[in-house]
Chain A
Amino acid sequence: MLKKEQNEYLTQTGPGTPMGELFRCYWMPALLSEELPEPDCAPVRVKLLGERLLAFRDSEGRLGLIDEFCAHRGVSLWFARNEECGLRCPYHGWKFDVNGQCVDVPSEPAESGYAKKVKLKAYPLIEKGGVLWTYMGPPEKQPPEPEFEFCTVPLNQTFSSKRIQESNWLQAMEGGIDSSHVSFLHRGDLANDPLFKGAAGNKYNLGDLSPVFEIAESDGGLLIGARRNAEDEQYYWRITPWVMPCYTGVPPRGDHPMHGHFWVPIDDESCWAWSYDYHPTRPLTDGEVAAMKDGKGIHVKYVPGTYRPLANKDNDYLMNREAQKAGRTFSGIEGIGMQDASLQESMGPICDRTKENLVGTDNGIIMARHRLMRAAKALVEKGVIPPGVNPEHHKVRQAALLLPRAANYTEGAKEALIAKKGVRQTSV
């Protein structure tokens, strides 16, 4: 349960809000590289943290993320011509470069220098791991580039997708650190999904529906350990890292690619659910990539030409009561990603946490909220850089392993939880 003012504190991320200031300390995924595939391609509208922006790749391949609207009379530059190293507004021909600098005002003599006095707000946009990342904070505080393992392995070892989620970011992210729902909501998929099935560890998930949780703070966020009973006086541990403010990793299964999410606010009532899959030591197979593109695993099928899921609230998420009754799916919704999204969206655009009834096993969620509020307060009041900004905090891995019952997961899995180049994930 949160008080109303705490709920508002955590869920509002627009400019000037405490959580908005917190998010503006980090590099965040903004677009897939495929959305700006080549120089002078069509610009793309982007809305992040309550700000309407426009992304484009200029004639020389440079990336820009600028205020969507022309400084002249407020026309959307989505209609602009992307030509000769800039976006030219089709209304009166004003032109802007990737830094938002106006470089041409045709109605004014070039010698007047008028164009130099006009500049749109612009944020840096960098390409890493098939993802375009932006940093929306003060330039003087721009951190080093992100080092999450999924975006540092060779491109043939990684795959990312995104889907729009019609809910506040926090209720989406909280699903990512609440691994106790897997044994219920996703149980049908453990046996059937090509990116999940066949792992030896699945039997522990299905055989023990009452995992016991242990939570520890890490430098960048939290390590959430869920243990289930296993044979030979061992526990089966699944360890989920959360890196502030919105990165989560799903513990791996067998040699399947590892996956996880970013939950990036679009505005206070919608967010981008980013889903990544990667393998630390080998290229993804054609079959794996085909499955990901087909919406398997944590990915989804799209409404053609969009990043909106094909199963969405307008078609009741393609609810299949027969599959639910037969136990093929637990909720009647197909696919892990949409099983999560359908329930999280059903909470409403911003979940009313004053009415929730948490239990002891929700301590991961409680602690994440607490760390977010504490970090935002320290940032706003004292300028303290929050956890998760330092790229060293990104070099964490999810893990699944068997440990003797007396062992502590933070120690027994210490090496497994560090991302190391060329070293395979620890998985069962």
Chain B
Amino acid sequence: MQSETARVTTARESSYRVQYPNSKRRDVKVVALDALSASLVDEVSREPWNGAKFFTSLSFSTDSAPGTTGEGLKAWLKDLAGAANDLVEEVASSDFVVVVTSAGEDARAVSLIADACALHNKSLVALVVPGPETTDAQISESMTHLRPFARMLVIASGADYISAMLTALRA
């Protein structure tokens, strides 16, 4: 007699696996850290998503209201419509955060986003996108800067990979 372990892995029995949804919608925040990556994020944002929010820049004010980063600075994320959104609130309402930076560009802002992620126990995924002229040294510099903050650090090939990753993560 066939074992249950063997029977359950047949194509016929696989059709009896329950079809109910097994997860809820993800709240993913995608943040460009520089002007070059902002255009990539803008491009990716035009695809249909399940609620992912896209931000094309990070700015600061000295407002010390709730939501400060701890150093008297308040950070704002600019969305695609140009509206400013409180960084800490956006991170708090996310499932995880993806930052995108162009290799060789200034990625120092990631530390603020990482602080907010740490504050709310959110994972931070960092994508480094090399350009056609990018040198290994520039990639290395970006990786070194991002490494302390990211749970996952990827050298991505471009917008198509960002889309593939967000689709895979149900963003």
List residues of A whose CB falls within 8 A of some B CB: 1-3, 166-167, 212-217, 269, 313-317, 345-350, 352, 355, 357-363, 366-367, 369-370, 374, 405-406, 408, 410-411
Contact = CB atoms under 8 A, between A and B. Distances in A.
A408 B140 CA distance: 7
A364 B8 CA distance: 29
Contacts of B123: 359-360
B157 A360 contact: no
Given A1-B170, A358-B168, A411-B140, A363 B11 contact: no
A359 B169 contact: yes
Interface of B: 2-6, 8-11, 14, 17, 22-23, 96, 123, 125, 136, 140, 143-144, 147, 150-157, 160-161, 164-165, 167-170
A408 B144 contact: yes
Contacts of A352: 14, 17
19 contacts: A1-B169, A213-B152, A215-B152, A215-B153, A269-B11, A313-B6, A316-B4, A345-B9, A346-B8, A352-B17, A358-B170, A360-B96, A362-B168, A363-B125, A363-B152, A366-B165, A367-B154, A367-B161, A367-B164
A387 B10 CA distance: 34
A374 B160 contact: yes
Contacts of B10: 349
B5 A316 contact: yes
Interface of B is mostly: mixed
Given A316-B5, A360-B169, A366-B164, A214 B153 contact: yes
A408 B143 contact: yes
A150 B53 CA distance: 47
Nearest to B146: A214
Given A345-B9, A370-B161, A361 B170 contact: no
B157 A314 contact: no
A322 to B, nearest CB: 18
A315 B152 contact: no
Contact of A2 (B5, B9, B17, B168): B168
Contacts, number: 107
Contacts of A366: 164-165, 168-169
Contacts of A345: 9
Given A1-B167, A363-B125, 14 more contacts: A166-B9, A212-B152, A213-B152, A214-B143, A314-B2, A349-B11, A349-B14, A358-B170, A359-B169, A361-B152, A362-B168, A367-B154, A367-B161, A374-B160
A406 B147 CA distance: 8
Contacts of B11: 269, 348-350
A405 B149 CA distance: 13
Interface of A is mostly: mixed
A363 B154 contact: yes
Contact of B5 (A317, A350, A406): A317
Given A361-B152, A411-B136, A313 B9 contact: yes
Nearest to A347: B9
Given A212-B150, A216-B155, A349-B14, A357 B5 contact: no
B14 to A, nearest CB: 4
A75 B15 CA distance: 35
Contacts of B151: 212-213, 360-361
Contacts of B8: 346
8 tightest A-B CB contacts, nearest first: A348-B14, A313-B6, A360-B152, A370-B164, A360-B125, A214-B153, A366-B168, A216-B155
B99 to A, nearest CB: 12
B123 to A, nearest CB: 5
A3 B23 CA distance: 16
Contacts of A361: 151-152
Given A357-B23, A370-B161, A315 B3 contact: yes
Nearest to A225: B153
A410 B167 CA distance: 27
Contact of B3 (A3, A313, A359, A370): A313
A314 B168 contact: no
A358 B2 contact: no
A367 B152 CA distance: 12
A318 B140 CA distance: 48
Contacts of B156: 367
Nearest to B170: A1
A214 B14 contact: no
Nearest to A370: B164
Contacts of A269: 11
A340 to B, nearest CB: 15
Contact of A1 (B147, B154, B168): B168
A350 B140 CA distance: 39
Interface hub of A347, A359, A410 (most chain B Cβ within 10 A): A359
Nearest to B95: A359
B165 A363 contact: yes
B93 to A, nearest CB: 18
Contacts of B164: 366-367, 369-370
Given A212-B151, A212-B152, A314-B2, A349 B143 contact: no
Contact of A214 (B154, B157, B160): B154
A77 B85 CA distance: 71
Nearest to B2: A314
A363 B167 CA distance: 12
A363 B17 CA distance: 26
A349 B5 CA distance: 13
